[in-house]
Amino acid sequence: MSILEKSFFYQEIFKEGEERGRRQEMLSGIEMGLEVKFGTEGLQLMPEIAQISDLERLKAIQRVILTVNTLDELRQLI
């Protein structure tokens, strides 16, 4: 590991990039789940969901898509 890689700023930038990547992957998964389960109507929730930055909350939304029966149920959980 180089001196640069050990620096605090490098580590923070790297960590931030990893979190952005995970967030983007979760948003893609949520988008796919909404489209498969609810069609284009489900995709209308994406602008609201895309505003969420908390990875744990996004993970919960991703999981709950599998169990809810209606978009109204999902809206209540968002």
Helices 55-64 & 8-43 angle (0-180, nearest 10): 30
Taking 80 as the threshold, does the pLDDT of residue 51 lie above it? yes
Residue range 30-48: mean pLDDT, rounded: 96
Which carries the bigger pLDDT value, residue 77 or residue 62?
62
Which carries the bigger pLDDT value, residue 58 or residue 20?
58
**What pLDDT does 15 receive?**
78
Residue range 36-51: mean pLDDT, rounded: 96
Distance CA 78, CA 39 (A): 18
Where would I find the H helices in the chain? 3-6, 8-43, 46-50, 55-64, 71-77
